[in-house]
Amino acid sequence: MRFLLGTGVICAFSAATPSAAVAEVPRVVTDIAPVHSLVAQVMAGVGVPDLLIDQATSPHHFALRPSQARALQEADLVIWIGAGLSPALSGAIADLAGAGKEMALLSVPQTDLLPIREDVRFEAHRHDDHDDHGHDDQGHDDHDDHGHDDHGHDDHEDEGHEDHAHDGAIDPHAWLDPDNAALWLTAIAEELAAADPDHAQTYLRNAENAARQVEDLADQIEADFAATPPPAFIVFHDAYQYFEDAFDISAQGAISLSDASAPSAARLSEIRTIVAEQGVECLFAEPQFDPDILSAVADAAPVSIAVIDPYGGHIPTGVDFYPALLQDLATGISGCKG
C-alpha cells in the first residue's frame, strides 16, 4: 500500500472538530453513498451533504426524479464519481447544476485509474506497479502544491480522465481504492475551503484526520489478507479490481462484464470452466441483481454463494459509511469458504 500517514487502527471515524456556522454553509449534493461518506467526513461539524442515488439503485440504471432535479438546481456544489459510473447524471448536472458547480472525482489529478477488464478470465493484478507510484508520490503535500486553482474543473478535463470514463475505457469503481479515497478527501476539502473560507481550516483538518483513519484501516486489512489469503473467488460483475489491486488479492473472473449488461451464454460457459479448473470456492452475488444467474455456474463445482456490494447497500449512510464499506468487503471476501 502507498500510504503517507501513520499506522495504528483508529476506530472512531466520526470524530471531527465542531465549528460554529459563521457564514452560510455550501449545499453539497453527492451521487453515491461512498462519495457521500467522504464528503460528510470533510463537512463534519459544519454541514451535511445530500445523497442523490439511494443504495438500492444501480448508478448505471439511474433515472432522475423531479425532487432530485431540484436538488441539483439548488446545489452550490455537486461532487460525483463521473459519467463513467452514472452516464444519466452527466447531462443533468450540466443542464441543472451550472458551470463550475461540479467536481468529478475520477478527474482529480493523481487519482489511480485502472482500465476495464474485458476478458472473462482475469489476469493477476498489478500490485507491484501500484506500490511503485506510492502514496508519497501523490500524497497530500504534493496535492497541496498545486492548490485549488490547479485542480479546478478545467484542469480536470485536461487530465483526460473524464474522456476515458465517458468512452468506457476506465473502470469507474475507483472509490474502492483507499488511496484514491485519501487523495479525494484532500481535494474535496480544498474545493469546500475555496467555496466557504470561514470553515476552511475545519474542512482541511477533517480531511487530514479522515485520510489518516482510512489509511490505518487499509493497513490492517492488507495485513489480514496477507496473514489469511482469501479463497479463489468469482464476482458477479467487475466492480472490485481497485479493491483487489489495493490489497494484493485477485478474483478469477466476473460473471457479468458490468452491472449494465447481462452475461452471454458464451461468457457463462467460460466462467463454468474457470470454476472447475481454478478451484473456485466462492461466487459473490450483489443485492441489486438476480442471484439466480449464479445458479448457471454454481453446479460446475462445489462452491459457496455469498453477497458483497460495492455500494454498501446494507450499511447506514454517513461519516462512518466508507470505512465500514472497506471492512465489510474484506470480511465478506475472506469469510466465504467453499
Q: How far apart are the first and last CA of the chain?
A: 29
CATH of the domain at 198: 3.40.50.1980
- pLDDT of residue 189 exceeding 90: yes
Per-residue pLDDT, 23: 66
Q: Examine the fold and report which residue of 205, 223, 241 is the final residue of a domain before the chain moves on.
A: 223
Per-residue pLDDT, 283: 94
Per-residue pLDDT, 260: 58
Contacts of 261 (CB under 8 A, 6+ apart): none
- pLDDT of residue 17 exceeding 50: no
Whole-angstrom CA distances from 142 to 109, 135, 136, 284 are 11, 10, 8, 38
Per-residue pLDDT, 57: 86
Q: Examine the fold and report which residue of 171, 193, 223 is the final residue of a domain before the chain moves on.
A: 223
- pLDDT of residue 115 exceeding 90: yes
Alpha-carbon span 306 to 297, nearest angstrom: 14
Share of the chain above pLDDT 70, in %: 78
Per-residue pLDDT, 120: 78
Range with lowest mean pLDDT among 45-54, 138-147, 240-249, 298-307: 138-147
Global pTM reads 0.81
Question: Do both 165 and 281 map to the same domain?
Answer: no
Residue 142 lies in a domain: yes
Find the mean pLDDT for residues 131-144: 41
Is the Cβ–Cβ distance between 49 and 327 less than 8 Å?
no
Give the distance, in angstroms, between the CA of residue 334 and the centroid of all CA atoms in the same chain. Answer: 20
Q: How confident is the model at residue 289 (pLDDT cuts 50, 70, 90)?
A: confident
Question: Do both 94 and 169 map to the same domain?
Answer: yes
Whole-angstrom CA distances from 66 to 32, 69, 98 are 18, 5, 17
Question: Do both 215 and 232 map to the same domain?
Answer: no
Q: Which residue type does 41 have? A: Q
Q: Examine the fold and report which residue of 180, 198, 223 is the final residue of a domain before the chain moves on.
A: 223
**Could you list the residue range(s) of the whole structural domain that residue 78 is in?**
28-107+134-223
pLDDT digits (tens, 9 = 90+) for 45-63: 999 999 999 988 888 878 8
Assign 3-class secondary structure to the chain: CCCCCCCCCCCCCCCCCCCCCCCCCCCEEECCHHHHHHHHHHHCCCCCCEECCCCCCCHHHCCCCHHHHHHHHHCCEEEECCCCCCHHHHHHHHHHHCCCCEEEHHHCCCCCCCECCCCCECCCCCHHHHHHCCCCCCCHHHHHHHHHHHCCHHHHHHHCHHHHHHHCCECCCHHHCHHHHHHHHHHHHHHHHHHCHHHHHHHHHHHHHHHHHHHHHHHHHHHHHHHCCCCCEEEEECCCHHHHHHHCCCCCEEEECCCCCCCCHHHHHHHHHHHHHHCCCEEEECCCCCHHHHHHHHCCCCCEEEECCCCCCCCCCCCCHHHHHHHHHHHHHHHCCC
Q: How confident is the model at residue 172 (pLDDT cuts 50, 70, 90)?
A: very high
| Block residue for cell numbers 489495493 | 246
Question: Do both 89 and 203 map to the same domain?
Answer: yes
Report CA torsion sign: 158, 162, 166, 167. Answer: positive
Find the mean pLDDT for residues 115-135: 62
| Block residue for cell numbers 489469511 | 228
Question: Do both 214 and 284 map to the same domain?
Answer: no
Question: Do both 75 and 186 map to the same domain?
Answer: yes
Give the distance, in angstroms, between the CA of residue 238 and the centroid of all CA atoms in the same chain. Answer: 13
Per-residue pLDDT, 174: 99
Task: Please tell me the total count of domains within the chain.
Answer: 2
- pLDDT of residue 324 exceeding 90: yes
pLDDT digits (tens, 9 = 90+) for 146-163: 333 343 333 333 333 333
Alpha-carbon span 51 to 316, nearest angstrom: 12
Q: How confident is the model at residue 8 (pLDDT cuts 50, 70, 90)?
A: very low
Question: Smallest Cα–Cα separation from 207: which of 222, 187, 227, 230?
Answer: 187
Which stretches of 27-81 are DSSP H helices? 33-43, 66-74
Residue 16 lies in a domain: no
Is the Cβ–Cβ distance between 151 and 187 less than 8 Å?
yes
Contacts of 57 (CB under 8 A, 6+ apart): 288
Alpha-carbon span 116 to 259, nearest angstrom: 13
Per-residue pLDDT, 60: 81
Per-residue pLDDT, 212: 98
